[in-house]
Structure 1
Amino acid sequence: MIDGSTTVSALIWTTQPWTIPANQAICYMPDTTYSLVKCGSSGELYLLAADSVESTALSLGTKFEVLSTFKGADLEGGVCAHPTIPGRSSPLLAANHVTMGKGTGLVHTAPAHGIEDYGVASHHKLPVDCLVDEAGRFTADAGADLESKVVLEDGNEAGVYALWFLSSHPYQPHLRSPSSITTSTLNVFTYLQEVLKKVKFTPASAANRMIEMLGRRTYWCISRQRSWGVPIPVFYHKETGDTLINRDTAGHIVRLVEQHGSDIWWTYPIEELLPESVLKQAGSSASAQEFVPGRDVLDIWFDSGTSWVHVLEDAQQRADVYMEGKDQLGGWFQSSLLTSVACRNKAPYRNVVVHGFTLSEKGEKMSKSAGNVVDPDVVINGGKDKVKEPAYGADVLRWWVAESNVFTEVMIGPTVLNSAREDINKVTEAYKNYEFGKVIRLLEALVTRDLSSFYFSIIKDRLYCEEERDPKRRSCQTALAEALDIVVRSFAPILPHLAEEVFQYLPYKKEGDSVFRTGWFVPNSVWKKPGLVEAVEATCSMRDLFLGAIPGKNTAEYELSVVIEPGLLFEILEEESYQVIVQKTTKERCPRCRKYTAESALAPCPRCLEVIAGKWSQ
């Protein structure tokens, strides 16, 4: 227990320490376990997540004694003194964006400098004070020690972030001035929801995730204060601060960039960036020397989010598919939507396909430093040691991708690739829905169940024993050619090399010089005669009854008779409408076709004799 006079410090963690003066709260996770610890070297008491105690103590080069543990929810109503501004307090607030992956489980919250922080401020009605002016200097509200100091320069030298960092480890902060060009997305959120209803997401759950993220994104800062990137071509009047950017000034900059590259914004004199002729076109009577070019660059998501402008030739077009990783639900997918809706009142895409990421066979994130990266080139061509790293070829790699559930994290390694090499066999609807795993399962079922174990077993006699031009044999060959065509075209998008090799070696005449130049297969109505499916299903039912009557025995040694009313074969709906009679055959085995249909074991059966005679007469 501690008394009311004892000071307890909440350890917060941030990658942008210059924002500490703008702190308005400290966020915690209600369901997470937190600890009150005593520092072994200073005796001070600290509050942090229980899972972070050991790592934090190690980073500080000390040891912590855990005095008590409790749930984050117990912190509700707590208030801390502001770390740099006397008299100001920072409440402890529950928030679902707090993570335990790194840091201390207590998150510094500066609403003026972060979208999640702003969301917390909006919910709890906190102030959104920016303590840095448009010139990148701390304002008076930041305190006398920091006032007027440039965040990126002497503000650092004054020890801005040394005030609140306990660790003596070298630290190179990533700083940027918070002056920005921001646009509100809150007023279009309802419209964005309606627009997304016309977009198909794969998987479907990604749509809700994106809408949820859009709901939290009430503002979008489209400028970045960095020394690299695509510049925003805006000019500022030196005295009034008024902005100058219009079709004329921007058009001139575009022409310069096309000829000399974007570095002109940083290297050309103001007279060339803003010549007198352009100023006149822009309707300004001022001289170029009265302006300075802005130094902000565009947010990279604004750049990539406008890619649809250059791909879609017609303003009314929408892309068939946008495909990217699940992290882009908050990035490219969003910025593309926002820019397209702003300009055209519609989404830039009809379908959004969201995939997961590739992990090692142990489920670990791939890392060059960890040495667990699977190189696609090694998978395809093999490594230096072909025994340990055999060449699987491009098709095996593509098969693995198609077979995987690409909407979540997938694992790859030697064991997985060996399994993929053994499968090779799987159509239109599944492809339309980007369900490549389903394509594979359908093809595997068709090849192993319907073709190999069923159809192939019942056509061998016709193929091998009927006369070469017999209609029964020729119709069977036609069916096989159709089946092969459908199977090859079905797996061609996944296994292009194998499909093309099969196509080039077809023994019959084919259209085109490549499987990829003949189009997708089109179902033939000839194969859909009325009653044909029912007749086949009825025949299969009779076959099942026959096989069930002689389990484990040679079917060739038995005769099957079906008792049924004439003309009802195509109308069989129930087993009661026919009768199956199974009895031991009285015939001998034919030496040619091996069916028990011969009168003598020494002579072919009547069918085989007729075929042989036909060959002799040719």
Structure 2
Amino acid sequence: MSEESSKRDYRDTVFLPKTDFPMKAGLPAKEPGILARWEDERLYQKLRESRAGREKFILHDGPPYANGNIHIGHALNKVLKDAVVRTQSLLGKDAPYVPGWDCHGLPIEWKVEEKYRKKKLNKDEVPAREFRAECREYAAEWVDVQREQFKRLGVAGEWDKPYLTMAPDAEAGIVTELLKFAETGQLYRGAKPVMWSPVEKTALAEAEVEYEDITSTQIDVAFEIVECPNVPELVGAHAVIWTTTPWTIPVNQALSYGPEIDYVIAEELDDSAERTGRKFLVATDLYESFRQRMQIDGKRERSFATLEFVFGGALEGTLCRHPMHHLGGFYAEPRPMLPGDFVTTDSGTGLVHMAPDHGEDDFDLCKAHGLNPKFVVDADGRYREDWEWLPRTDERSGSVINPKFNAPDGPICSDLREAGALLSASADYEHSYPHSWRSKAKVIYRCTPQWFVPMDKPKEHIFPKTREEKRWEDEGGPHNDAGPISDHPTLRETAMAEIEKTRFVPAKGKNRIGSMVQGKPDWVLSRQRAWGVPITLFVDRKTGEYLVDAAVNARIIEAVHAEGVDGWCEENAAAILGPDYNPDDYEMIADILDVWFDSGCTHAFVLESDNWPDLQSPADLYLEGSDQHRGWFQSSLVESCATRGKAPYKAVLTHGFTMAADGRKMSKSLGNTIDPLKVMEEYGADIIRLWALSVDYTEDHRIGPEILKGVADQYRKLRNTFRYMLGALEGFDEAERVDVSDMPELERYMLSLLGALDAKMRRAVDDFDFNTYTRALVDFMNEDLSAFFFDIRKDRLYCDAPDGLERRAYRTVLDTLFHALIRYAAPVLVFTAEEIWGTRYPEGGSVHLLALQDVPDAEADAARWDSLRALRERVTEAIEPLRREKTIRSGLEAEVTVPASAVPEGFSAADLAELFITGTVTLGDGASITVAKTTDAKCGRCWRLLPEVTEDGDLCGRCETVVAEMDGAA
């Protein structure tokens, strides 16, 4: 070879990857343009058309409240839903997505009221129609805002036609469902204690309540025993109760004892240890803690002498008198001591004061003994004006949730102390207490007339029996895990049986919702607010029964269809009732429905509606946060079981909550919130999606600035891997394709890995396991491709002849990999995948119209290759010290000796040098790996150092042949 040729620059003869796909993503600027193109091209509609007639998969969207910008929890939720829909579509299914919004209820009404409060106006003075119109306008504004924010996340769906619970069709649908309850006798009006917000002046559902730790006043109060048939010596003694809600003492009607509990009579001692004659009755097991609480004006503990023990059952028939008996009237009535199986010796005194207005156990026990609620606390949490003690007109009156009202020096404790009944009072009791999750104010149990759905009322089959129900009858009746279900199952039994049939992801969700439904009290449907769907019932003023008339119900539904909730009004009463009924004879219910009833009906007015013909019921999947076991999952289940006898879903998926990077709950006050809108401004939506689909959503998970930086770095690696593939495949056509049987073993091994990945990805789709799905994709692209396959084969790509079998085989596998990986990536990186696909196929339509393809069958000895890759890692580790010392600049300069015993069968020394990317490899007899710098010269084109190259800059045999062919062609 001449000296002139040895100095030639061969860079123009190397086949380097070529692509216009930029390394820098620029997602914040690029993604909105892709979104606009999707809208212009009607991509979602095209997808529906392409999947028409295929097997359906229906994910039913749980409606978020339309009242503010989206937060990171919204982002996670919507991305998960979008991933479900897109991956099911990848499987070739018809998976439509109709988003929805919950538009009624306190979240919106509260915001509208804030406007009035700021102007010092009373919203109750505003006409109801006008107020509701403002609520509707407020909700509509936020629907539009959130819609654009969800779309910006890359969530595809029927955004031009979502469902809104405030749409007249939806409101009429909700009324239709309510009237089904009425027609089948599954509604009753009753007075029970319910959780009530004095601030919001309405009953609350369990799902609207959160628990916070607070410090309360705890008091011990003495009730004088005036009659005790079984233990006469107790007359004159005092039964002691302990409570952390002093405000309930003014409504006390009884005391409860444990029939199986042992009690002790303790007599107070004075400073001289003499008996004072004042005796107290407390549980024996709680005597010591009671004694420690007893103080005299906070100065010292009282001393006691124990006299005798009393078995709880002996307290039957005992009567006490209220400490404020001197007020007369209600307080002069004797207070019976009643047996209660809920009384324990865990804390307190073993005696519980009963206020049926303000406790579930209290209500049930007192009602069983003829003691009824007095309804003395008004909606704002204050006592009635005509109440004997602390009326709202009293200068000492106040809200019962006001700490000052309940304080040791507050009016209740002060009056009890003056009456000689307050034995102890301290504002130091720490415990968990329910609060409204909207106003953050404490709630109370308050007995008011409400509308309920009974959970335990046996009912006939309302709808035609299914084949399964008929089979149950043939086999002796339906069963669930709790045992046989009665011939006429209760709503609770039906719901529990349906839970058993439902798939829960994760599986622990079944136990969670099951325990909640098992212990669920009768469902309180009514709310005393303005913005919501009315309880469209006419109640006979004489009998108290609600009217059930199919013709009247049809007119009710028609009125709501025509005017929305405004159609239920006094002005329309006569027309709705028709000629057979006198409006003066009926009360037109003014309460509205619990918003959980609204959302619980969505399966009826969305999935079964002609408005969205692509949908069907039951849904394949409901997906929400884990708090919805007591919310939407449960209300939907109970509503559907009551009206259809079955669950509205086949599967339920729940995700955990997003926490700050340090594991704490996100809070604006702590400054640790992550705003998804700002993340999209800085990084782009694909980064949020990659984060959301990488975390283990089944548990609580974290996000923070450093976490997002890590996700962005992961994204860059994925993007660059696709960029390499685009460049490496430049100009690839079918004529270049190589059959699998003709491929080198490495290519066949990579196709076998792709086959394993494909199976893993499909399983992950079936399991809704996006953590596994995304991580499997990332690991494959980073570890199997970039760090292994691409690294090894770049020499073949750059330097082999274009028509060489090895290069063609490599490019064939690259093409197969590209088509599989771009499809896997599309549900995760929706914008980037579209950009990648469009770069390779500018006229190829959208990547999101594609379905998964079968990957080629290729067999490879996985264990053999695993062993080789492990050896390759050892070689790399052995070379690294020489690189750090700059003895060599790359593995191509290394002469490596490896133990022959460590080399899998069938790999030659030349194979190993290519796979390890080293100069040469020698098989040795020892057990260690040795590395030395080669003395071979470097090829001027491929830069490999080989014995056949006599001088640096000369060409190896392969490169000489390729260059000669290129020169000849030129």
What is the match of residue 129 of structure 1? 367
Residue type of the alignment partner of 2:963: I
Report the Cα offset of residue 208 of structure 1: 0.8
- Is residue 689 of structure 2 the alignment partner of residue 398 of structure 1? yes
Q: Kindly indicate whether the alpha-carbon contact (under 8 Å) linking 2:356 and 2:447 is maintained by their aligned counterparts in 1.
A: no
Once the two structures are superposed, residues 497-542 of structure 1 have per-residue CA deviations (whole angstroms, 9 ceiling, x without a partner) of: 2222222223xx47732221223x2232x2x23xx222x6435535
User: What's the counterpart of residue 406 of structure 2?
Assistant: 166
Partner deviation per Cα, 1:264-286 (whole Å, 9 max, x = no partner):
3244253233232xx3xxxxxx4
2:337 equivalent among 89, 111, 136: 89
Alpha-carbon distance in structure 2 between the residues aligned to 1:296 and 1:343: 22
Q: Label 1:438 to 1:550 Cα distance change in 2 as closer, same or farther (>3 A).
A: closer
Among candidates 845, 854, 861, match of residue 523 of structure 1: 854
Distance 1:21 1:398, change over 3 A: farther
Q: Which amino acid aligns with 1:156?
A: R
CA distance in 2, matches of 1:208, 1:538: 45
Q: Which amino acid aligns with 2:638?
A: L
1:418 counterpart letter in structure 2:
K
The letter of the residue matching 1:13 is T
Q: How far apart are 1:493 and its partner, in Å?
A: 2.0
CA distance in structure 2 between the partners assigned to 1:422 and 1:481 by the alignment = 25
Query: 1:237 aligned to 2:540?
Result: yes
The answer to whether the Cα contact below 8 Å between 1:237 and 1:243 also exists between their aligned partners in 2 is: yes
Match of 1:582 in 2: 923
1: distance between equivalents of 2:250 and 2:814?
Answer: 71
Mapping for residues 598-609 of structure 1, pairs under 5 Å: 598-602=948-952, 603-609=954-960
Structure 1 residue 319, shift from structure 2 partner? 1.1
Show the counterpart of 2:623.
323
Of the structure 1 ranges 5-14 and 325-334, higher mean CA displacement relative to structure 2 is found in 5-14
Quote the residue 1:557 is aligned against. Answer: 895
**DSSP-derived class of the 1:243 partner:** coil
Measure the CA separation in 2 of the matches of 1:160 and 1:356: 50
Match of residue 243 from structure 2: 11
Which whole-Å CA distance do the structure 2 matches of 1:311 and 1:363 have between them? 38
**Residues 379 and 247 of structure 1: CA distance in aligned 2, closer, same or farther (over 3 Å):** same
Q: Which amino acid aligns with 2:522?
A: Y
**Which deviations, in whole Å up to 9, do the C-alpha atoms of 1:329-349 show, x marking residues without a partner?**
112111211222233332211
Look up the match of 2:660: 360
With over 3 angstroms needed to count, the CA separation of the structure-2 counterparts of 1:93 and 1:452, relative to structure 1, is farther
Describe the superposition over 1:386-424 as per-residue Cα deviations: whole angstroms up to 9, x where unpaired: xxxxx1222222222222232333333323322222222
The equivalences for 1:314-393 within 5 A come to 317-368=617-668, 371-381=671-681, 391-393=682-684
Q: 1:216 to 1:483 in 2, by over 3 A?
A: same
Counterpart CA distance in 2 for 1:243 and 1:90 is 35
The answer for the alignment partner of 1:513 in structure 2 is: 845
Q: How many residues align?
A: 522
Kindly indicate whether the alpha-carbon contact (under 8 Å) linking 1:597 and 1:605 is maintained by their aligned counterparts in 2. Answer: no
Match of 2:838 in 1: 504
1:213 is displaced (CA, Å) by: 1.0
2:10 matched residue in structure 1: none
Partners of 1:369 and 1:107 lie apart in 2 by 39
Alpha carbons 1:398, 1:495 under 8 Å: kept: yes
Aligned equivalent of 2:606, options 311, 314, 318: 311
Q: Quick check: 1:233–1:293 contact (8 Å CA) kept in 2?
A: yes
Cα drift, residue 612 of structure 1? 1.3
Change (3 A) 1:365 1:599: closer
Once the two structures are superposed, what CA deviation does each residue of 1:420-445 show, in whole Å capped at 9, x if it has no partner? 22222683322332322222321232
Other structure's SS at 1:157 match: coil
Higher relative contact order (CA 8 A, sep 6+): 2
Instruction: Give the C-alpha shift of residue 563 in structure 1.
Output: 9.8
Match of 2:770 in 1: 436
2:598 partner amino acid: D
* Corresponding residue SS for 1:403: coil
Change (3 A) 1:215 1:551: closer
Q: Cα offset for 1:356?
A: 2.2
2:244 maps to a residue whose letter is I
Return the alpha-carbon distance in structure 2 between the equivalents of residues 419 and 127 of structure 1: 59
Per the TM alignment, residue 26 of structure 1 is displaced from its structure 2 partner at its CA by: 9.7
Query: Residues 455 and 232 of structure 1: is their aligned pair in 2 closer, same or farther, counting only changes over 3 Å?
Result: same
- Give the whole-Å Cα distance in 2 for the aligned partners of 1:169 and 1:392: 58
SS in 2 for 1:197: helix
Match of 2:808 in 1: 474
Q: Is the 8 A contact 2:822 2:833 kept in 1?
A: yes
- Does the 8 Å CA contact 2:538/2:547 hold for their aligned counterparts? yes
Distance in 2, Cα, partners of 1:227 & 1:65: 53
The 1:415/1:550 distance shift into structure 2, 3 A limit, reads closer
CA 1:539–1:263 in structure 2 vs 1: closer, same or farther (change >3 Å)? closer
Which residue of the other structure, out of 561, 566, 589, is the alignment partner of 1:294? Answer: 589
- CA separation in 1, counterparts of 2:806 and 2:343? 73
Structure 1: where are the runs of 5+ without partners? 28-44, 48-52, 69-75, 101-105, 132-138, 280-285, 382-390, 567-579
Could you tell me which residue of structure 2 aligns to residue 450 of structure 1? Answer: 784
Q: Is 2:575 the counterpart of 1:272?
A: yes
- CA deviations over 1:549-588 (Å, ceiling 9, x no partner): 896244763599989699xxxxxxxxxxxxx971699965
Label 1:397 to 1:543 Cα distance change in 2 as closer, same or farther (>3 A): closer
Report the Cα distance in structure 2 between the residues aligned to 1:180 and 1:161, rounded to whole angstroms.
30
- Counterpart contact for 1:201–1:353, Cα < 8 Å: yes
Distance change (3 Å), C-alpha of 1:177 and 1:539: closer
1:182 aligns with 2:453: yes
Q: Match of 1:591, as an amino acid?
A: G
Q: Decide whether the 8 Å contact of 1:185 with 1:218 is kept in 2.
A: no
Aligned counterparts of 1:275 and 1:6: Cα–Cα separation in 2? 62
SS in 2 for 1:177: strand
CA contact (8 A) 2:800 2:962 kept: yes
Name the CA distance, whole Å, in 2 between partners of 1:498 and 1:82.
76
Asked if the contact 1:81/1:90 (under 8 Å) is kept, the reply is no
Q: 1:446–1:250: structure 2 CA closer, same or farther, 3 Å change rule?
A: same
| Cα distance, 1:206 vs structure 2 | 0.9
Instruction: Report SS of the residue matched to 1:374.
Output: coil
Contact 1:235 1:292 in 2 (8 A): yes
RMSD of equivalent CA atoms: 4.9
- Length-normalised TM-score, structure 2: 0.46
How far apart are the structure 2 equivalents of 1:540 and 1:130? Answer: 74
What CA distance in whole angstroms lies between the structure 2 residues aligned with 1:415 and 1:548? 32
- 1:370, 1:552 → 2: CA distance? 49
Residue deviations 1:217-268 (CA, integer Å, cap 9, x gap): 2532333454553222221223333321332112212222222231332442
Q: What is the TM-score with the length of structure 1 in the denominator? A: 0.70
Structure 2 gaps of 5+ residues are: 1-220, 223-233, 259-279, 283-288, 304-310, 323-330, 392-399, 413-440, 458-489, 610-614, 719-760, 880-890, 908-920, 925-931
% identical aligned pairs: 29
In the TM superposition, what is the alpha-carbon distance from 1:207 to its structure 2 partner? 0.8
Tell me the secondary structure at the aligned position of residue 323 of structure 1.
strand
The 1:290/1:478 distance shift into structure 2, 3 A limit, reads: same
Structure 1 position 606, deviation (Å): 1.6
Q: Where does residue 133 of structure 2 map in the other structure?
A: none
In 1, are the aligned partners of 2:941 and 2:959 still within 8 Å (CA)?
Answer: yes
Q: Which residue of 2 aligns with 1:246?
A: 549
